[in-house]
A and B are shown apart, each in its own frame.
Chain A
């Protein structure tokens, strides 16, 4: 019943991976809300650079999510919520 206080290397890594999975949307939110700071005046114009920024961020988030997802193994996630 009681959970161990310290973990072996593999479960430890798995938990940190879960932390990463939890943090990822927060990071995404920050990056996607960043443009709110871009509009100090009314003369700011939308450029191709902005389009590129959004798609790069988007791609980065997807790539990170793809890197994290396989290691999460939802089958073993039952000993939540740590």
Chain B
């Protein structure tokens, strides 16, 4: 294998990537991304989780620690198949609030605090520097494998200069594509696509090597399984602490690693892609780790003892004389390293420029804030320098650490470093009570403990921490030893650091949050983040400010560029119904502007810049409450409307009922009028006819007497009718004179029954009475009450249609009131008519019209009202039933 060929292949590969990225950027500019925004590309871009650490390191890991390497993939698998818990919310928030990095997320959530942004940025930079060094180291090692393999005249460069070349090359590539423009939403389609291509290359390479090992060397799956059983790494056994701890650690890291956050949240185009990735990404991980164990086992078996297991992926095909396969494997490893470094440095550069450089720049040159200087140049330059700086740091770490440590342990240290962000992040997403102070305390504590127990000791005893500190503890305090905090030296160092840093981190975070009081912006942001799916709470909003639109435009131009800013302002002005480019600084416009700016320079900076112009750094608590109560008012208003509507419906129902009744009454009245004229007319006619006959004379005396009697009877009927009408009108106007006195109820009922016998005397009624209960003396108008009873009994006699009519009279006494029920055993009154029977002129059927004009019950009702009682129809008694209720003692005043 010629070294020249290797370098040429590398260059060719990079050029292909370059072309891919370039083409995609071109298409993106024309808005023709098409399938490039598919879930497939998204899933593949997520594969930067698998760095060179996976590609080379996993085999070494498996050779050293058996199946433990799987934990690094189980964690992400659990997080992704459980995407409904966390990732969905994270991506939604990231898209809704234009989050540009994980530092931006934390800073935004905790009241756009730049302090937090700086802390998270520092943690991310420090934690991932070794990781970048790791990638450089893997590329250098891989080159080394080929170089030692075939000395063919060309002297390969030494390790240090290889590392420099690789780092510089990556920096150039990243700067070219990562900082071409300042996007409103910090997205880099070109790079994402290039990374998707690299993902395919590394998967194909690893699977190819694995397939070669399984079917080419071992001779089939069964053989491989047999060799796994026989191999040395079977001495490994599960260490419960490390097993569970590493699964948890990798699960945390996959959310908090800056590069994962970048591709997962910031570069996400569509939330639907996440659903696909939720299973496709674990599937990718599974494929990547499928052949790790076979490669490790066969490598241990075939290669000479002492060879570096981290390089088995390369050395095994080389040893078997498969140059082409080794080349593919090399490109796979190269892809893994480059894609990780590119995305990681972009993510870090974004954080550094947004949270450190730009705020510093604005602080140092406040005079320039309102001037026309184009800040975009500053931002882009800051990012370019940051990318260079990050790679330089990585290179520096590689040089310092000597590049000898096993890959896996460096990777885990980096994981643990970024995992310190997790408590503040998860707390911020799900707990409204999480505060800025809590987040600062938690991050600080976690970071300090991580540095002391994991990061600094990784340089080795005597490098950063003296041997004395390792042995005796910090300041000679025995309980402050890096590997034995609080006397827990029996723990595995990694688990020790994991346990103490995260436990104390979470503890400080919770305590700080519980004991502090958040500011208004913080509370609004907290509510907006935690309730992102409810959509009820918007993020922090601007009150109408005193900002000059011109100054805003100048500022926006500095960040977005002239054209974009002018277009933005013009469309906003048009929305407000204004001509020109200067909209009013309404809250809505300020919000939109801030969201747009924060896509470029981060939420904290955008917020600070606008508040500089609007002239007020924060909203007050009152404004906060006003915003909150705004929505509450709306809800209240709608509730009121609802109540009013219900009331209207009720009223309408009542009106409809009343109307029906009126209509019915009107019909009744018409019927009565015709009837009353008939009632008046019939006697009048007979009186007139008979009186005419009488005036003619010449009649036998008995005829005269007979006619005279008829005339008299008819006149009596007329009188009775008129009496009734008069009676009713007197009762209705309430001018009736009541004759109050003590009277026996029994006597009154006796009188009523006797009097009522005149009605249809031919019928015999069985009357059931309970005499003892009737022995009550009432203070009331006995005549009037008797009249009511007579009416009821004679109604029963008139209308009861039973073959063996019965009449039951029941008396009850309750709470100073007496109830008298008069019940017959007829068919009763149909339900529909029950409401009408007490109306004047009502008469149900014409079948049993036995005189009377339908005034009886109406009169009864008026009498009872005058006596301070009531009469109602009792349904469901097996016949017509009336209940008369009246007070035991009627006082004069009530009359």
Contact = CB atoms under 8 A, between A and B. Distances in A.
Given A61-B77, A74-B275, A48 B238 contact: no
Contact of B229 (A18, A47, A54): A47
Interface in B185-241: 224-226, 228-229, 233-238, 240
B85 A25 contact: yes
Interface in B410-432: none
A51 B725 CA distance: 105
Given A28-B77, A48-B229, A55-B290, A22 B88 contact: no
A21 B70 CA distance: 23
Contact of A69 (B78, B226, B240, B276): B276
Contacts of B82: 21-22, 24-26, 28
Interface in A6-33: 18, 21-22, 24-26, 28-29, 32-33
B282 interface: yes
Nearest to B225: A48
A78 B80 CA distance: 20
A25 B81 contact: yes
Interface in A36-58: 36, 38-39, 42, 44-48, 50-52, 54-55, 58
A70 interface: yes
A51 B236 CA distance: 13
B775 interface: no
Nearest to B226: A48
Nearest to A66: B279
A77 to B, nearest CB: 7
A52 to B, nearest CB: 8
B81 A74 contact: no
Contacts of B272: 74-75
Interface residues of B, number: 47
Contacts of A42: 237
Given A1-B635, A77-B533, A35 B278 contact: no
B234 A46 contact: yes
A78 B533 contact: yes
A44 B240 CA distance: 14
Contacts of B635: 1
B128 to A, nearest CB: 26
Given A47-B234, A74-B88, A32 B74 contact: yes
A50 B231 CA distance: 14
B78 A28 contact: yes
B275 A72 contact: yes
B274 A74 contact: yes
A69 B278 CA distance: 7
A51 B278 contact: no
Nearest to A1: B635
Nearest to B635: A1
B638 A1 contact: yes
B118 interface: no
Contacts of A18: 84
B67 A36 contact: no
A36 B293 CA distance: 20
B358 to A, nearest CB: 34
B283 interface: yes
Given A47-B228, A48-B225, A62 B81 contact: yes
B67 A54 contact: yes
A54 B293 CA distance: 12
B225 A62 contact: no
B247 A22 contact: no
B286 A62 contact: yes
A80 B534 CA distance: 6
A59 B238 contact: no
A72 to B, nearest CB: 6
Would you list the 4 A-B pairs with minimal beta carbon distance, nearest first?
Answer: A25-B82, A48-B225, A65-B279, A80-B533
30 contacts: A1-B638, A18-B84, A22-B82, A25-B82, A28-B74, A28-B77, A29-B78, A29-B247, A32-B78, A35-B238, A35-B243, A39-B237, A39-B238, A45-B235, A46-B66, A46-B67, A46-B235, A50-B67, A51-B228, A51-B293, A54-B67, A54-B70, A58-B74, A58-B77, A58-B282, A62-B282, A74-B88, A75-B271, A78-B533, A80-B534
Interface of A: 1, 18, 21-22, 24-26, 28-29, 32-33, 35-36, 38-39, 42, 44-48, 50-52, 54-55, 58-59, 61-66, 69-70, 72, 74-75, 77-81
